[in-house]
Amino acid sequence: MSQIDTLPPLREVIQTHDLRAKKTLGQNFLLDLNLTLRIARTAAPLEDATVLEVGPGPGGLTRALLVAGARRVVAVEKDERCLPALAEIAAHYPGRLEVISGDALQIRLADIAGGGPLKIVANLPYNVGTQLLINWIACAEWPPAWQSLTLMFQKEVAERIVARPGSKAYGRLGVLAGWRCHASLAFDVSPKAFTPPPKVTSAIVHLTPRAEPLACDLKALERVTAAAFGQRRKMLRASLKPLATDAEERIVAAGITPTERAEQLSIEEFVALANAFAGAEATFS
């Protein structure tokens, strides 16, 4: 692979700083700098944006984001072993990279953005990736602090995020993402691109916020989808029965046939169900 800057190759960086990937942190380092540059370009334009990167590791994607023109990159890294390698990148790109040692689950996006456009671009650690996504798309204020999300997941998870009604992958994550975002698969990433190589193919997902999602109580939507997809083979009149004593009447009031099943419903229909069951929240388990 060709180099994208004059910093050392990533394999050399890993060897110099003894950065063996830790399974406990969900680490799989992406070493192909041309591939990381492709990820950065998927999030373009970056010239006027602050980019938040989670779990930069040895900094392959970090370097690509800076090469692609990101005005400012804020990299949040929980693994302190990676900080010296990231400091070398910061020195090479003075004033453009800020490294925060900490847990991305505790970061407030409004503090990162600094009032300007914020884009999140990350090869997310497998063990916290889905939770981070849910946190970002389920935030109380909408439109959110971020302008776009360009994220890597296991392909199975990526397919669930972009899934549409009627597909096997369609479930709670697809409803939540589709309700608030436009989501699309950008491209697949082979296990061979990583060190160590994971057992599964990964994929890049690109999400942008819908300006005005349908009015809906988030907690009600999460509970309705949990009940409906938790027993997806059952008809709605059975799967939603634990949510209210008059569940079937509420389903009808939402304009939906009680004999439908979860995978048959559109996002708009799930929003209608959530609104119909919102008044029964006290009976949710």
Given 174, 209, 244, which residue is the final one in a domain? 209
> What angle is formed at CA 33 by the lines to CA 78 and CA 185, rounded to 5 degrees?
80
Is 80 a domain residue? yes
The answer to whether 55 is a known ligand-binding residue is yes
Please indicate, yes or no, whether residues 247 and 108 belong to a single structural domain of this protein: no
Where among 209, 237, 256 does a domain terminate?
209
Q: Is the pTM value of this prediction over 0.85?
A: yes
Place of tokens 């063996």: 20
Residues 75 and 133 placed together within one structural domain of the fold: yes
> How many domains would you assign to the chain?
2
Kindly state whether residue 72 falls inside one of the protein's structural domains.
yes
> Does residue 56 fall inside a structural domain?
yes
Residue 123 assigned to a binding site: yes
Residue 254 near residue 224 (C-beta atoms within 8 A): no
Q: Residue 1 domain-assigned? A: no
Phi-psi map region of 26: left, alpha, beta (phi>0 left; psi -120 to 50 alpha): left
pLDDT one-digit tens code per residue, 4-28: 899 999 999 999 999 988 888 778 8
Q: What pLDDT shows up at residue 2?
A: 61
Nearest CA to 74 out of 126, 129, 118 is that of: 118
Same domain, 173 and 229: no
Same domain, 241 and 156: no
DSSP letter string, 109-172 = HHHHHTTS-EEEEEE--TTTHHHHHHHHHS-SSSS-S-SEEEEEEEHHHHHHHH--TTSTT-SH
Domain ranges, residue 152: 10-209
pLDDT digits (tens, 9 = 90+) for 217-274: 899 999 999 999 999 999 999 999 999 999 999 999 999 999 999 999 999 999 999 9
CATH number of the domain residue 274 falls in: 1.10.8.100
Is residue 187 helix, strand or coil? strand
Q: Answer yes or no: do 37 and 98 share one domain.
A: yes
263 is in an annotated binding site: no
103 annotated ligand binder: yes
**85 part of a folded domain:** yes
- Both tokens of residue 63? 């370097």
156 and 75 co-located in one domain: yes
79 and 96 inside one domain: yes
Residue 36 forms part of a structural domain: yes
